[in-house]
Chains A and B, each alone.
Chain A
Amino acid sequence: MEILIKAVYILIFPGLLFATVFGLWLAGIDRKLLARMQKRVGPPVLQPTYDFFKLLGKETIIPANAAKVTFLAAPYVGLISLVVTALFIPIGGLQAFGGMADTVVILYLMAIPSLAIIFGGSASGSPFAGVGVSRSMVSIMSYELPLILVLLAVGRAAAYGGYTTFSLEQITVIQQLTGPFLLDWRLIPAAVAMLLVIPCEVGAHPFDVGEAETEICEGPLVEYSGAPLAVFKLSHCIKMFIMTALFTALFLGGVTTGMLWLDVIIALVFCTIVTVVSMTLTHAVMARFRVEQLFKFFWTVVSGLALVSLILVWYV
């Protein structure tokens, strides 16, 4: 029975199936609302799903001078590690595998899919991919600094008995006592910083310097086609789910009604709202950053916001 429940967790509810479906749904909502913001009709909400299945049906071309194993394995490693990461994040009080990974571990686990794209692109042997690899790495360097500052600020805010924490469970529990951290004025700068980190981490416009299709032919993805490309696109969608779920757990946790299923639905609604606010809005109003502007923006403005929060939490 225990094993059966675990299997359901892994394969169905927060795991493989749900992460896929919900990720595709978030991406669909994102595209639809973006279109509405630009006064367009926009694609159907299922459009990312169609894209995914269409790509599965396409031919997969492996470039002649690619490192084949890395080229083909990278997308799957990225996808699977993302699905596993999704299991560690509490969704509205539901913790599929609690006590196995904390915020810092998730920060590092989220680097694996980015690395998968980087090494996959690198293995294709394309010079466009080479430039894309360089840019993707710069964007990783850009967001890690503000992200760790945000995590430390939240960890301090969730301190209990003088002990700061990295534990997501403790962050959730403390929020049940004090109310969501988003309502704590000291943490608002950190929340704003986190909202800006999400699109960069996901690789969404306007921070998608690494996969800029107009400049460098989608960077690391330039040589991918067919099923591996589908898997990368799916990873992108699941990343949206994980990052918004992380935001929800960090800043909007502890909203309880007493019924688990209702809590979960509320958390998922929060995820959708966070997607719209952090990704769709920024996409609609901003043009793509240049790579050095991106780095500067994140290491000054965004990190500054997060640092202000950390200092406020520490001393106020």
Chain B
Amino acid sequence: MFKKLIDNSAAKSPWLFHINAGSCNGCDIELVAVLTPRYDAERLGFKLAGTPRHADIVVVSGPITAQSKDRVVRTIEQVPDPKVVVTLGSCPRSCNVFKGSYSVVGPLDKYVDIDVSIAGCAPKPEAIIDGLALATQILKEKRGAKE
């Protein structure tokens, strides 16, 4: 009965949950910049959720330290389906300059499937919005794929 409404809404209200997996905070403040009046991601329906249970998109930044690995994997697992995992910046994909450190066990794709990667150190807000917009399309596809 509401199939169409639900399918259409799936892409229009992406709620983000942000996980910092040992990031230098550079990407994190760029993500916050996306929500400021200048870029205003809320016009696309983006909202920061307080808990993984409410999230549609999980944004991971940082090179996945040994300490954070289990927590990141567990938190991503706790997000209800359909969900999209987005990596923010170069670190989660390649461990960036931290590669080879005794405390870094990345990249993230060793542990979970990644849907969208936003490159850059740190990425520009425009790039982030672009990546997130792509993520919303994947979200909609995943919702459709379930039928």
* A residues adjacent to B (C-beta < 8 A): 31, 35, 38-44, 47, 49-54, 56-61, 128, 212-214, 216-218, 221-226, 229
B109 within 8 A of A: no
Q: Is the CB of B40 within 8 A of A218?
A: no
Q: Which residue of B lies closest to A41 (CB)?
A: B43
* A and B contact pairs by CB, cutoff 8 A, 29 listed: A31-B42, A35-B42, A35-B43, A39-B37, A40-B42, A41-B40, A42-B40, A42-B43, A43-B42, A43-B44, A47-B12, A50-B8, A50-B9, A50-B12, A50-B13, A51-B15, A53-B9, A57-B143, A58-B56, A58-B81, A61-B78, A213-B48, A213-B49, A214-B50, A221-B51, A223-B51, A225-B54, A226-B80, A229-B53
* B residues adjacent to A (C-beta < 8 A): 2, 5-10, 12-13, 15, 37, 40, 42-45, 48-51, 53-54, 56, 78, 80-82, 143
Q: Is the CB of B80 within 8 A of A53?
A: no
Which residues of the other chain, B, contact A53 by a CB distance below 8 angstroms?
2, 5-6, 8-9
Q: Is the CB of A43 within 8 A of B43?
A: yes
* Residue from A39, A43, A216, A218 in contact with B45 in the complex, judged by beta carbons closer than 8 Å: A43
Q: Is the CB of B50 within 8 A of A213?
A: yes
Q: Which residue of B lies closest to A213 (CB)?
A: B50
Which residues of the other chain, A, contact B40 by a CB distance below 8 angstroms?
35, 40-42
Q: Is the CB of B54 within 8 A of A218?
A: yes
Q: Is the CB of A47 within 8 A of B50?
A: no
Q: Is the CB of A38 within 8 A of B9?
A: no
Measured CA separation A226–B9 after assembly (Å):
13
Q: Is the CB of A57 within 8 A of B9?
A: yes
Which residues of the other chain, A, contact B143 by a CB distance below 8 angstroms?
57
